[in-house]
A and B are shown apart, each in its own frame.
Chain A
Amino acid sequence: MLHVLTMLLAALLALPLVAEAQKPIKVGMPMPLSGPPALFGDPATKGAQMFVDEINAKGGVLGRKLELLVRDSKADANEAVRVARELILKENVDFLVGTLTSAEGPAVSVVAKENKIVFIAPIPKTDQLTAADKLHPYVFRVAATTTMEGRSAAEIVARWPVTRVATISFDYAYGQDVTRAFVEHLKKIKPTVEIVDQEWPKLGEQDYNPFINAQMAKKPEAIFSSIWGGFFVTYSKQAKALGVFDAIRYNFIGVGEAATPETTKSMGADYPVGIWGNSYDAFYWGETPAHRDYTARLSKYLKDEYPSSWAIQGYIGMQFLTEAIKKAGSTDSDKVSKALLGLTVDTPVGALTIREKDHQANRGQLYGKTVKDAKYPFAIMKPVTYVDPSKFMD
C-alpha cells in the first residue's frame, strides 16, 4: 500500500516536470517591421520562422518545440530596448535573436547582459557590438562586421585603376565605422590612393542632390557608398540623374547590400547596372547543394519565385541558437552561452564558426559587379563571389 502511495506521489511530483518539458522554448525577436528598414527586417523574421517550423516538424529541440515571438522594434534603439524588456519580463522568453540597425544591436545587448539572456544579433554590423569593452558572455553575432565589410570593399577597389576615391555614408555608427574600415584598409593596401571627399548625410536622408554636387565637384574617380536598403534606391535614382555613374565609369561600390536582389528588383531598369555591390544572399548564387536546397524551401515558404536575401540572416541566427541548445543539452543561458563559443554550424552558405575571443561568426558576404541577365527582369551580380572574411577579421 505504502509502495503504491509512494509511486503515486512520485508520479504527481513528476507531473510538473513533464509539463515543463512540453512547454515551448520561447525566442524573442525584436526586428523593424515598419519604415524602410522593414524591407530587411520583415524577411529576416520569415527566415527565422521557416527554420522554427522546420525544426518543430522534426520534433523540436530537446523534445520541446520552439516558439518565435516577433515584435516591431521600429529600427529605433529605445523601442528595441522596450520590446526586448517586454519580451523578457512579460513573455518570459528564454533567448533573444534579433535587431537590425547598428543603433538597436548594442542597445539590446545591454538588456541581454542585465537579464543574463543569450542574445544573437543576425544583422547589425557595428564593430562596437562585440568590441572588447562592450563584450559580455551573452552577446553573439552572426552578421558581418563593419571591419569585415569595409575591408572586403577595399580589397575590390584596390584592384581598380583609380587613385581619387570619395565616400558617402550616413552619419551614424554603421556609416562611420564601415567607412573608416574601408579607408584605412584601402590606404594600407594601396598607399597611392587619395581620399578626395567624404559626404555624411543624416540617416534616412531623402535629398542627396546637394551632397552629390559637392562630391562631384571634387572630381573623384571612384565612389564608396554605404547607403543601404530603400535609401540606396533614393540615392542612386538621384545620382543617376546627375550623371554620377557615367562620370566615374561605374567605379562605384555600394556596400550595405546595394546589390541585393530586392533592391535591383524594385528598381528594374532604373538600377545603375555596372556598379559593384554586395548582398548577404542571392537566390541565383546556388554554389552548393545546401544553398540550392535552402533557396528552394524558402521560395516555397515565401511563395516567391525570387525569395528574399535577408531571410537567411534570421535563419542562421536561429540555427546557431538551436545547435547551441542541443550541444548544451539545456536552455540555461549560461550553458548555451558556453556552447556557442567556438561552435561551428553547417549553414546554407557553408560552415560558419563563432570565434571564442569576440563572439563573432566569420560570416562573409557575396560581392559582384551588377549586370543585366536575360534570365531575370532585373540586374544580378555576375560573377558573384563569396568573400570569406577570415583573413581580415582582426
Chain B
Amino acid sequence: MRPLTPRRLFWICAVLSAILFVAVVISLRMGAYPISVRQIVMTLFNGALGRRDRIRSEFWLVVFGLRLPRIALGILVGASLATAGAGFQALLRNPLADPYVLGVSSGAALGAILSLTVAPRAPAAIQAAAFAGAVATIAAVYFLGRRRGQLDSSTLLLAGIVTASFLSAVIMFLMTMLSGRDLRGMAFWLMGDLAAPPSVDLRWLYLLLIIAIGSIYSTSSDLNLILTGEREARHLGVNVDRVKLVVYVAASLLTGLAVSVSGAIGYVGLLVPHVMRLLFGSDYRLLIPASALGGAILIVVADTLARTVVAPTELPVGAMTALAGAPVFIYLMRRRGR
C-alpha cells in the first residue's frame, strides 16, 4: 500500500462522498410514489431556497417529509455502526468484531427497551440507556472472552455470540411480557428497521455522531501503533489505557446511538471496515473516515433495496445487511483459519 498523504486522504474521502451523493440521489428517486429525477432536483432546489409554494405538496411531503429524513437517518446509522465496528476491531484486536456479532447491539436494544418501559417520555433517555447497555455488554464480553488473562480471539467471538443470543432471548421475554404497551415490535429491535423516523431531532444525534467519530479519529495514529503491538506502543510513549478508554466509550456511544433509532442492524460494522481495509489498507487515519462514509453508502443502498425489492411492502434493512454481511463473516473466518 502507498503511504498515507493528506492528498490521498482527501481524494479518497472525496470519491466516497461522491458515491454517497449518487446513492442518495438514486434513493430519493426510488419509491412507491413516482417522481422523476428532474422533479426531485426542482423540489430540492426550491426547497433549499425556501420556495414551498412552487412545489406540489405531495412532492414536498415525499421528498422532504419521507425520503430525505429516512436517508439522513440511514447515513447516521451506517456511519455510526461502521465506525463503531472499526473501533471495536482495534480495541479487541480482532477483525471479526462487530457491534452485532459481539452482542453490543442487543445490549443497546435491551437498554432502549428498558428505558421506554420505565420513562417513555423522557427526552434522550433512550439514547443514554442504549449507550449504557452497549457499555455494559462490551465490558461483559471482554471479560468473558479472556483466557488465562489473555484476550483469546475465538473465545471472544463465542462470548459475543452467546451474549447476543442471551440478550435477544431477554428482549423476546420482555416484549412478550410488555405486549400491548406502546413499544416498537420485536422485529424492530432484533432485526433493525428505518421505516419510521424517530421523534428526536436528528441534528442532536448528528452532533453526537461527529463528536464520537472525531474522538476515535483523534486516536487513530496511536491505534496504528497499538495494533503493531501494545508493548511497543507503550515504549513509544502511547498512553494505551487512555486510547482504549476513548475508543471503548466512543464506539459504545456510536452503537447506542444507532440502535436507539433503528434497532439492531447487523454486520455493517464488520462488512464496511473490512472492504475499506481491502481497498485502502489498514491505516486507521484513513480507515475511520472511509468506514464512516462507506457505512453511510451501504445503509443508504441497502435501505433503498429493502423498500423497493418487494414494494409496496418493505423488508427490514437488517435483513439486507445480514444477507450481504453473513457470507463475508464466514469468508473472513475461513481465511483466518488458514
The answer to whether A and B come from one shared complex is no
